[in-house]
A and B are shown apart, each in its own frame.
Chain A
């Protein structure tokens, strides 16, 4: 009797698990299935679409966020998929899959395997240029098909409220005299976005960039180290500093956009340009397809993302998350990426951070 009870108890638990596990893994499981079928079917799609040039997805679309849940790439992927479906811009189901790891390299390696598929997209931003330059990813933007850029984010340079510098020029004047006297903190490794955006402005101001002291403090470490005085300047995304600035704990010396941003607190942040430093940095964010995507499919997605970008629903999303609109079509995007990569490569070469 006891045994029977125990067994039934356990079967119950198993059933629960199956249900829970199903929830958790179903997107994954489905996708694994999709991958198989999509690679088989995609060849068929291409032949059918070649004739008329009109292409439409024939199965559900997978969007890969090459990062964990909750980050910028993940949110962009999820919110875009939601609006595309809810507004009826794309009828086919869109599933978001997180392929987390190595600053995106894990997700890109996965996407490289999807070459030729017309039903796999992914989200990326500046790291897809920087990470390969650092030698941490085999694949760069050249290995994929840029479809459309949709969002722009900007960086910010913040100091503690009681810091001695009132503006960016004062900071850079001090750094010109002794670059080592200032510790810059960011949340990613040297040669990645937080570091490079600061270097870019410092170089424009005439600081010896090879001597800048940069500390990488992953996750929450950046703001913590700024607040407790371990570091002097925090180089990060503008969204990360708004709340602390509003509370009067820190001051934003400059944002990296060309013009002031909109928003109650955001509009109080000066740009570097208005302080006489002629430089800007956009953390663009957009969608890519795998290599050898059918041009008709690229055209299809490009038009749909344009529609997304213009929709009122997505405008609400943008304002919720503090993103800016920045649409570029496939060709323009490709050119922009090539140029941007050249510029970044120059900086990394000078810092000695480029991988051989």
Chain B
């Protein structure tokens, strides 16, 4: 059994003194950068690349991997405390995390996030270790029709992401779709809705929208309502301790979403962001108390937090076993491999087993470090909330501006951020929910492209969506997901 030997070599590398040290360094840098609103794993890894010049490749990569999942781990902090997502994968964590912190349970929220992240990370590494060699096939099994069907399934949840008016949720989603079409259309090379500006040719970055609609809008809201005290004092951190009930509530989502998140992470292009959204939606769909979501519900925080970390491990599958980067972050990782003279691909496992298995084995240690690093810090980090509000608001604005500027060093993006902040504030004033906008924006671009790729391949024949098993199953699930609430209603009436 070559792979067992490989695994052992991997553990040898990961548990060597240097191995442990570099993992620790990686996760520390990662979790720290992840905590800052707007700065995510891409900037973190890009910063680290020059440092690794001349380092032993395995150690360098073990460290970079640590930066990556460390950033996803730490990314939830600012989502929960400030409603300012640190990275795109943690936007969904703010839906229930921020209300929880506002209710004076910030400590508990951070503890839930840390434990779910740890569980998601660890379970998915186990899956990665057992199935990595076989999973390469899963990564490529999704053709354009299957991607389209997956995005469709995600979209059926728009209604469930809204509080109150479904019409307003749909309007919000349509605007999100429209914003997603800005930029060069890959299928024809035509520029759309750019108004002749080079700045818009690449479309609008997800973080600009997320920070605008959430962080800046929240700041505007706080300023407008500065004389009202907002539910709870916002100053209590609350106890870190989780009750037995909380633990029980968490265990379900953790089990489900470490697997779901991992699978979604494997698919190139899906990644942590889409995984966290789909997990949140799924959890809400199957919950007996969907009304509790969005108001600081344990399950609503545990689900996306488990999922985004699990997806991070999943993203290593196509990278390590096929040399296919599934996301912007793994693309930068691929660059790091090349700089170090390694070529990830189907031959990596055979040619360089210590690299392949070393990275995977190091993730076990990395996740444990992250938990040890994060848990004791929670009381201190949560104290950010005790900062007087005027100061806190200014800090959120500053961090958001820095984060957005760091994406592409473009001043234009800063204006966009403010524009989306104003839009988000107006949406909030008139009770248009922001999550459907964000969801439509994320799924919209990919959905449109995969639809049109499918149409090109099939010469415009719609039946292509029903030909592959994967897309057929996903489309049936979408149909069920749409009709489920209606059926449930009818059922309830019959019983009554």
**Which residue numbers of A lie inside 8 Å of B, CB to CB?**
2-3, 5-7, 9-10, 16-17, 20-21, 23-25, 28, 68-71, 74-75, 98-103, 105-106, 109, 134-138, 180, 183, 188-192, 213-221, 223-225, 227-231, 242-244, 246-247, 249, 320-321, 353
Contacts and interface: CB of A to CB of B under 8 A. Distances in A.
Contact of B456 (A21, A134, A215, A243): A215
Contact of B343 (A70, A74, A137, A242): A242
A216 B186 contact: yes
Contacts of A225: 143-144, 453
B405 interface: yes
B409 interface: yes
Contacts of B344: 243
B185 A189 contact: yes
A269 to B, nearest CB: 16
B375 to A, nearest CB: 16
A218 B347 CA distance: 24
A243 B344 CA distance: 8
12 contacts: A20-B39, A21-B402, A75-B335, A100-B202, A101-B199, A188-B186, A216-B186, A218-B186, A218-B449, A230-B143, A243-B346, A321-B338
Contacts of A320: 341
Contacts of A246: 345-347
Contacts of A7: 387
Given A70-B331, A106-B201, A220-B324, A247 B268 contact: no
A136 B347 contact: no
Contacts of A103: 184
A219 B331 contact: yes
Interface stretch (B103-111, B120-128, B134-142): B134-142
A70 B386 contact: no
Contacts of A321: 338
Contacts of A242: 343, 345
B189 A134 contact: yes
B32 interface: yes
Nearest to B459: A180
Q: Which of A137, A188, A243 has the most CB of B within 10 A?
A: A243
Given A24-B47, A71-B335, A102-B202, A229 B184 contact: no
Given A70-B334, A75-B338, A134-B189, A244 B346 contact: yes
A132 to B, nearest CB: 12
B202 A220 contact: no
A231 B331 CA distance: 22
B461 interface: no
A190 B187 contact: yes
Interface residues of B, number: 63
A28 B407 CA distance: 12
B346 A249 contact: yes
B406 interface: yes
Contact of B457 (A74, A183, A218): A183
B332 interface: yes
B384 A243 contact: no
B184 A136 contact: yes
Contact of B33 (A20, A192, A218): A20
A244 B201 contact: no
Interface string B170-200: 0000000000000111111101000000110
A212 to B, nearest CB: 11
Given A20-B32, A137-B198, A190-B189, 5 more contacts: A10-B383, A10-B384, A69-B46, A75-B338, A230-B457
Contacts of A10: 383-384, 387
B201 A3 contact: no
Contacts of B189: 134, 136, 189-192, 353
A153 to B, nearest CB: 14
A228 B347 contact: no
Given A24-B406, A25-B405, A219-B325, A102 B198 contact: yes
B408 interface: yes
B187 A189 contact: yes
A70 B336 CA distance: 7
A300 to B, nearest CB: 27
Given A102-B201, A191-B189, A228 B335 contact: no
Given A134-B189, A223-B324, A228-B140, A6 B386 contact: yes
Contacts of A214: 456
A120 B32 CA distance: 35
Given A16-B32, A106-B198, A219 B268 contact: yes
A228 B201 contact: no
B198 A101 contact: yes
Contacts of B335: 69-71, 74-75
Nearest to B142: A228
Given A6-B383, A71-B335, A243 B341 contact: no
A14 to B, nearest CB: 8
A101 B183 CA distance: 10
Contacts of B191: 135-136
Contacts of B274: none
B435 interface: no
Contacts of B386: 2-3, 6
Contacts of B185: 189
Q: Which of A221, A223, A230 has the most CB of B within 10 A?
A: A230
A5 B386 CA distance: 11
Nearest to B183: A102
